[in-house]
Amino acid sequence: MNTESDATFRHRDHDHSACVSEALEDADRYCAQRGLRLTRIRRRVLEIIWQGHEPVKAYDILDQLNQSGRRSAPPTVYRALDFLLEAGLVHRIDSLNAFVGCPLAPGEHSAQLLVCSGCETVAEIDDPAIRGILDQIGARHGFAVEPQTVEIKGLCERCRGDS
């Protein structure tokens, strides 16, 4: 799995086969260790999400599932996504109404998603300084901050023309 120091924007020309294989192996291991059931459909939804590093919408997942010849309904996809979110294997990007795979250790953690406004590619980091600031703000107001996902919009190097 990636760590925060090597979180990078990976674009369409990136070879995702290693990412997909590693994500699926990690998910299998994580679920087995915690007694979670990574069913065939949940695993397939996770695989579809990991096919690229761009966010994937639920109906795009449904379309890909239906290409295999078996007809799936929206509730099937949403149930699989709920499981993957709860397990910490994917993140929901609220501003795009889409999902990305979690490249950091699965499970409960704070994450900051760097979302490129140009190409919509996403890089995940888990910066303790950002987490600390949120905890401090919460504490000042008598509020216990739970682990959460923070979306940070901007432009990646490629979209800025810096690469």
Residue-range domain boundaries for the chain: 7-158
CB 6 within 8 A of CB 19: no
pTM confidence score: 0.82
CATH number of 7-158: 1.10.10.10
pLDDT at 52 (0 to 100): 76
Strand pairing report for 149-154 and 111-116:
parallel
Give the model confidence (pLDDT) of 8-64 as tens digits. 666 555 566 778 888 899 999 999 999 999 999 999 999 999 987 789 999 999 999
CB 51 within 8 A of CB 67: no
CB 1 within 8 A of CB 22: yes
Q: For residue 139, what are the contacts with CB-CB under 8 A and spacing of at least 6?
A: none
